[in-house]
Structure 1
Amino acid sequence: MKVLAIESSGLTASVAVVEETRTVAEYTVDYKKTHSQTLLPMIDEVVRMTDLDLAEIDAIAVSGGPGSFTGLRIGSATAKGLGLALDKPLIHVPTVDGLAYQVYGCGDIICPIMDARRNQVYTGIYTFSARAGKKEGIREVDPVFQVLRMQMAIAVEDLIRRLNNYNRPVVFLGDGVPVYREMLSAGLKVPYSFAPSYMNRQRAAVVGALGIRYYKAGKYETAMEHQPEYLRQSQAERERAQREKTAKLVIRELKAEDAAAAAEIEYQSFPDPWSQNGILDTVSNPSTVCLLAEKAGKAVGYLFAYRAGDEAEIARIAVAGEQKRQGVGKSLMRTLEEIGKKKQIRRLLLDVRESNREARAFYEKMAFQEDGIRRGFYQDPPEDAVLMSREL
């Protein structure tokens, strides 16, 4: 089996071609250049130096995180692009798994640490146990890679406490070592050591070797399915979430250009979601009231209602999962009431799945009353509808 391996989760950029019994080629650079500058030229050089036809590889192994958000995106995008072009499967190798696998055969606790800033590290806890067998009369030891604690983001103080509880020697490696070496030395009560320079950073050859093992265990995916694993939000995402949390809620008319955002919430909210085209048809209908709820420019909810004479039937109301119980649904309803009064709508109608207790409780708080049951109204899945209404 032949695997192209890509590692770009940290400052180190690394590319390798790996077979089951040897590393054909490896190109590693730990220098102040961006992966967007180095990764593709490194792949080209490895391919050129080994006369490799990329169509001959069986899979692409990629370090899938955690790590640098930008680095992971570049590595994953490169692997996905090659996988799609070559029609090859991808092997997602967790970054800290790959780091730990470098200390092959070590029976001590292996603890790779990557600096996640704010006194936190990305880490996992590993070891190798010896499984003995016999081969041609000679006793052969086959080390078994054991994941004692899966990769995680954790405060350094908490990691030290966990390692002390194992009461076993620990080997550290990774770019978090120089950052937190003094904290580790001050807090550890067990023997510890630090891996030497040739094995203390990420290497694509190791990603490829471990990737072959994972592939044989059935742990692979299509290029389309692959996504990096960040473990936590990037700083930009955290800042955006904070802005959204404190931003003012705006209710406005939902327009055609908002259909894609509404469709995304629709698919998250209903077992029988409307398509984007269906939403566009609703928006273009002159008898509808279409409302969008926004926070910091992001769609967080919507409402569709059909007018007929002095009545309006609410066909759809939904709120994005992270914005539920934040008053979004209530604000959409209040805005519909205001519009209804201006348009001389006397009565609001709706139907709701009988099993949807949360929605029924919400409508009751908004002064809706149950009028009856419509048997077998819903089809996907089959269910009765509770009919509700309220006077304006």
Structure 2
Amino acid sequence: MKILSIDSASKVATVAILDDNNLIAEYTLNNKLEHSTLIMDIVDKLLKDSDLDIDDIDGFAVSKGPGSFTGLRIGMATIKGLSLGSNKPYISISSLDALAHSLVNFDGIICPMMDALRNSVYTCLYKGENGNLENLIDYSALEIEELVALLKEKNEKVIFTGDAVNKHKEYIMENLPNAIFAPIHLSIIRASSLGELGMKKLLNGEQDDLNSSPFYLKKPQAQRELEKRLALKNENSL
């Protein structure tokens, strides 16, 4: 089985092609936010450089979030279009799962963190066992203080990864002096990691339909601002 996977949940734009035994190709760009203009060009380049056509792909995987609202919509729309056009299945995978899977052999708690702005992060806690991830908590949007307090309670070895690590690294080190931090190349979401997880699900017969939507955890900013204005309007009318 050949899988084409895309992640555009963060600043990173990453695309990979895998088969059952190999990572055939991967392209990762971590310095632009122009996903809408980049993603299909990257897909076309990867297929061409791999001497493959879209008809050679048996299925697709895409990040469903959490992450950037715009980035998630771009990635999911791209994969839905490829899936529909080629009549091949697709599956969506959590961005946090993809981050954690890169560290699945770590013998402690794996803690991916994605920036959720201000002082909060999107996160989940995992243990790796026999190449599989076990979720220790639900996917969450937490203040960094809440996350660190939770990890203190667990009192286990923990490794951090993700784009929010550098932002909060000093606070983590002050409060969890034995914290471990993933190397740079494993601190961003990799389409290859996401594709591996997607392939397992597709081979098990799982797939998404075209009505599936991104997993946001937090409401889009425009919706939050609208609700705030409506609440103020209701208060003023009382």
TM range (shorter): over 0.9
Q: Report the residue type matching 2:85 in the other structure.
A: A
Q: For residue 22 of structure 1, what is the aligned residue in structure 2? A: 22
> Quick one: structure 1 residues 150 and 18, their matched pair in 2 at CA, closer, same or farther if it must change by over 3 Å?
farther
Structure 1 residues 210-229: aligned runs within 5 Å: 210-222=197-209, 224-229=210-215
Note if contact 2:9-2:72 (Cα within 8 Å) is conserved in structure 1: yes
Q: For residue 318 of structure 1, what is the aligned residue in structure 2? A: none
Q: For residue 332 of structure 1, what is the aligned residue in structure 2? A: none
Q: CA deviation at 1:125?
A: 0.3
Mark the structure with the bigger radius of gyration.
Answer: 1
Query: C-alpha distance in 1, partners of 2:136/2:47?
Result: 37
Q: For residue 57 of structure 2, what is the aligned residue in structure 1? A: 57
Note if contact 2:100-2:110 (Cα within 8 Å) is conserved in structure 1: yes
Where 1:91 maps in the other structure, the secondary structure is strand
Q: For residue 259 of structure 1, what is the aligned residue in structure 2? A: none
Where 1:150 maps in the other structure, the secondary structure is coil
Q: CA deviation at 1:196?
A: 0.6
- Return structure 1 stretches of 4+ with deviation > 6 angstroms: none
Structure 1 residues 330-349: aligned runs within 5 Å: none
Q: For residue 343 of structure 1, what is the aligned residue in structure 2? A: none
Q: CA deviation at 1:244?
A: 2.3
Q: CA deviation at 1:248?
A: 6.0
Query: C-alpha distance in 2, partners of 1:248/1:164?
Result: 42
Note if contact 2:12-2:32 (Cα within 8 Å) is conserved in structure 1: no
Residue number among 176, 186, 209 corresponding to 2:196 in the alignment = 209
CA deviation map 1:331-355 (0-9, x unaligned): xxxxxxxxxxxxxxxxxxxxxxxxx
Q: Report the residue type matching 2:142 in the other structure.
A: I
CA deviation map 1:83-103 (0-9, x unaligned): 111122221110000000001
Gaps of 5+ in 2: none
Q: For residue 184 of structure 2, what is the aligned residue in structure 1? A: 197
Q: Report the residue type matching 1:213 in the other structure.
A: K
> Quick one: structure 1 residues 66 and 33, their matched pair in 2 at CA, closer, same or farther if it must change by over 3 Å?
closer
Residue number among 116, 130, 135 corresponding to 1:147 in the alignment = 135
Note if contact 2:65-2:94 (Cα within 8 Å) is conserved in structure 1: yes
TM-score, with length taken from structure 2:
0.94
Query: C-alpha distance in 2, partners of 1:117/1:248?
Result: 28
Note if contact 2:128-2:134 (Cα within 8 Å) is conserved in structure 1: yes
Please give the root-mean-square deviation of Cα atoms over the aligned residues, in Å: 1.8
Note if contact 2:66-2:94 (Cα within 8 Å) is conserved in structure 1: yes
Q: Percent identity?
A: 38
> Quick one: structure 1 residues 219 and 147, their matched pair in 2 at CA, closer, same or farther if it must change by over 3 Å?
farther
Q: For residue 160 of structure 1, what is the aligned residue in structure 2? A: 148
Query: C-alpha distance in 1, partners of 2:111/2:105?
Result: 14
Structure 1 residues 1-392: aligned runs within 5 Å: 1-129=1-129, 142-188=130-176, 191-222=178-209, 224-247=210-233
Gaps of 5+ in 1: 130-141, 250-325, 328-392
Note if contact 1:96-1:123 (Cα within 8 Å) is conserved in structure 2: yes
Q: CA deviation at 1:104?
A: 2.7
Query: C-alpha distance in 2, partners of 1:213/1:110?
Result: 20
Q: Which has the higher contact order (CA 8 A, sep 6+)?
A: 2
Q: For residue 330 of structure 1, what is the aligned residue in structure 2? A: none
CA deviation map 1:246-295 (0-9, x unaligned): 3369xxxxxxxxxxxxxxxxxxxxxxxxxxxxxxxxxxxxxxxxxxxxxx
Structure holding more strand per residue: 1
Note if contact 1:63-1:94 (Cα within 8 Å) is conserved in structure 2: yes
Q: CA deviation at 1:186?
A: 2.0
CA deviation map 1:41-98 (0-9, x unaligned): 1001001111212122221100110001111111111111111111222211100000
Query: C-alpha distance in 1, partners of 2:57/2:188?
Result: 25
Q: Report the residue type matching 1:44 in the other structure.
A: D
TM-score, with length taken from structure 1:
0.58
Q: Report the residue type matching 1:175 in the other structure.
A: D
Structure holding more helix per residue: 2
Note if contact 1:16-1:27 (Cα within 8 Å) is conserved in structure 2: yes
Q: Report the residue type matching 1:144 in the other structure.
A: N
Q: Report the residue type matching 1:233 in the other structure.
A: K
Q: Report the residue type matching 1:161 in the other structure.
A: A
Note if contact 1:80-1:226 (Cα within 8 Å) is conserved in structure 2: no
Query: C-alpha distance in 2, partners of 1:25/1:242?
Result: 45
CA deviation map 1:311-361 (0-9, x unaligned): xxxxxxxxxxxxxxx99xxxxxxxxxxxxxxxxxxxxxxxxxxxxxxxxxx
Query: C-alpha distance in 1, partners of 2:143/2:99?
Result: 19
Q: Report the residue type matching 1:58 in the other structure.
A: D
Note if contact 1:90-1:226 (Cα within 8 Å) is conserved in structure 2: no
Note if contact 2:28-2:190 (Cα within 8 Å) is conserved in structure 1: yes
Where 1:14 maps in the other structure, the secondary structure is strand
Where 2:32 maps in the other structure, the secondary structure is coil
Note if contact 1:23-1:205 (Cα within 8 Å) is conserved in structure 2: yes
